[in-house]
Amino acid sequence: MAQDPARTETATPRRRQKARDEGSVPRSTDFDGAIMLWGNFFLFMSLGSATVALLAKQLAHFLQLARPGALAEAGRMTLVGDVLMILGRLLLPFLLMNLALALALGFAQRGFSFNTKPLKLKFDRLNPAQGFKRLFAVRSLVELLKSLAKFAILAWVAYRVLEPRIPVLLSTLKLPLGQSLDLFQSAVFALYRNVMLAMLVLALADFAWQRSSFEKNIRMTKQEVKDEAKDADGSPEVKQRQKGIMLASARRRMLAAVPKATVVVTNPTHVAIALRYDEKTAAPVCVAKGLDHLALKIRERARETGVPILERPELARALYRSVELDQPIPNDLYQAVAQVLAFVYRLRGAA
Q: Which pLDDT score, from 0 to 100, does residue 1 have? A: 45
Is the residue at 311 inside a domain? yes
Looking at per-residue pLDDT, the higher value among 24 and 186 belongs to: 186
Cα-based distances in Å from 269 to 65, 275, 305, 314, 336: 115, 17, 19, 13, 20
Question: 46 near 85, Cβ under 8 Å?
Answer: no
Quick count: other Cβ atoms within 10 Å of Cβ 259? Answer: 14
For the segment 217-241, what is each residue's pLDDT rounded down to a tens digit?
A: 888 877 777 777 776 665 566 667 7
Is the residue at 10 inside a domain? no
Looking at per-residue pLDDT, the higher value among 335 and 141 belongs to: 335
Is the residue at 155 inside a domain? no
Q: Which pLDDT score, from 0 to 100, does residue 351 have? A: 44
Is the residue at 40 inside a domain? no
Quick count: other Cβ atoms within 10 Å of Cβ 234? Answer: 12
Domain count, the chain: 1
In the three-class reduction of DSSP (H, G, I as helix; E, B as strand; rest coil), residue 68 is classed as coil
Q: Which pLDDT score, from 0 to 100, does residue 75 have? A: 54
Whether pLDDT at 276 is above 70: yes
Strand partners, 273: 265, 289
For the segment 108-126, what is each residue's pLDDT rounded down to a tens digit?
A: 666 655 555 555 555 555 5
- In the chain the beta strands, taken as DSSP E runs, fall at 263-266, 271-276, 285-291, 309-311
Whether pLDDT at 309 is above 80: yes
DSSP-derived letter for residue 25 is -
**Percent of the chain's residues with pLDDT above 90:** 0
Q: Which pLDDT score, from 0 to 100, does residue 277 have? A: 84
Q: Which pLDDT score, from 0 to 100, does residue 61 have? A: 63
Determine which of 72-81, 234-243, 278-287 has the lowest per-residue pLDDT on average. 72-81
Domain span including residue 304 = 254-350
Cα-based distances in Å from 37 to 161, 206, 226: 19, 16, 46
Is the residue at 282 inside a domain? yes
Is the residue at 43 inside a domain? no
Is the residue at 286 inside a domain? yes
Question: What global pTM score does this model have?
Answer: 0.45
Looking at per-residue pLDDT, the higher value among 86 and 129 belongs to: 86
Exposure string of 76-108, with b = 16+ CB inside 10 Å and e = fewer, is: eeeeeeeeeebeeeeeebbeeeeeebeeebeee
We report the CATH number of the domain holding residue 275 as 3.40.1690.10
Tell me what the mean pLDDT of segment 87-102 comes to.
78
Distance CA 141, CA 134 (A): 10
Report which of 98, 103, 105 is spatially closest to residue 207, judged by C-alpha positions.
Answer: 105
DSSP conformation letters of 48-66: HHHHHHHHHHHHHHHHHHT
Is the residue at 312 inside a domain? yes
